[in-house]
Amino acid sequence: MFRFIAKRFLEMIPVLFIIATITFFMVRLAPGGPFTTEKSIPPEIQKKLEAFYGLNRPLFQQYLDYMGNLLKGDLGPSFKYATWSVNELIWSAFPVSLELGCYGLAIALILGLGAGVVASLRQNSALDHISMSLAMVGICVPTFVLGPLLILMFGLGLGWVNASGWDSWRDRILPSLTLGFFYAAYIARLARGGMLEILNQEFIRTARAKGASRQRVILKHALKGGLLPVVSFLGPAVADIITGSFVVETIFQVPGLGRFFVTAAFNRDYTMVIGTVLFYAVLIILLNLVVDVVQVWLNPRLRFE
């Protein structure tokens, strides 16, 4: 396992280098610049700003300077928030995105696993059809549609929860549900399919023939193998839940990293865009590594090699 993890970390270095290079040049090819505003800035002030941030240098020299700072762990200053560095912005905003992601993941796992396992145990029953139909609706309805609907119904219509913000527990309910419902639908279908496949295996029939109780067959024998498709899905899913909440954070005005990223993209905040992309890339690679280790632990037929 140590060799497997070490190999993954070594492979991560060229991947991050490629991501940083592509992102660096792509953001600079976009029209406009970090100091392009509706109200024009005097040319002498704009020149001083560009000189201060090194934007008056040749593009390749800017690239070399940025990569040199990146090797030191310095993501550079933010062009939008003058007194903040990108490192400070990420570490101040990411805990909010992480909290929202954990709430969304908990909702996705509770609803998805519960619906999928129950549907597999009641195959072709009314409960199975209803839960899988709801799961299909959840897959088809994107978060940017579900979020405003929940705001209209429970925030503005009934007034049970707050429609935006991140100050109290009432602010956290709607964004967490919006983020969790979408992934709960996928988990429900994967859990049902995985459980149905395992429940028809020979070793399950053997366990039943030996007199094992229904509860023991499900909990001890079926769940471990039946949830393997869910574990495989959780790698990119957890990364998407934690890092892909851009739309949810924007809809509900959550001060997380996703909202900072969207603002940085609109304002051509080069360093913030590149820093956020790299941070998310590292997080996704680490989460996929954890999922690979868990898969080997759940399935003895798999090996780290």
pTM of the entire predicted model: 0.75
Query: Model confidence over 120-174: pLDDT tens digits?
Result: 777 778 887 888 888 888 778 877 788 888 888 887 888 788 777 787 888 888 8
Sequence-distant (6+) residues with CB within 8 A of 98 are: 242
Confidence band for 79, pLDDT divided at 50, 70 and 90: confident
Helix, coil or strand: residue 129: helix
% the chain with pLDDT above 70: 86
Between 60-74, 150-164, 240-254, 274-288, the lowest mean confidence (pLDDT) is in 240-254
Q: Which residues of 65-91 are buried (b: 16+ CB within 10 A; e: fewer)?
A: ebeeebeeeebbbbbbbeeebbbebbe
Q: What is the mean pLDDT of residues 266-270?
A: 81
Residue type, 195: M
The vertex-23 CA angle with 97 and 61, nearest 5°, equals: 125
Sequence-distant (6+) residues with CB within 8 A of 166 are: 96, 172, 252, 253, 254, 255, 256
Domain annotation for the chain: domains and CATH numbers: 7-31+40-71 (no CATH), 94-271+285-298 (1.10.3720.10)
Query: Model confidence over 48-74: pLDDT tens digits?
Result: 777 777 777 888 888 888 888 888 888
CB atoms closer than 10 angstroms to residue 41 = 13
Residue type, 165: G
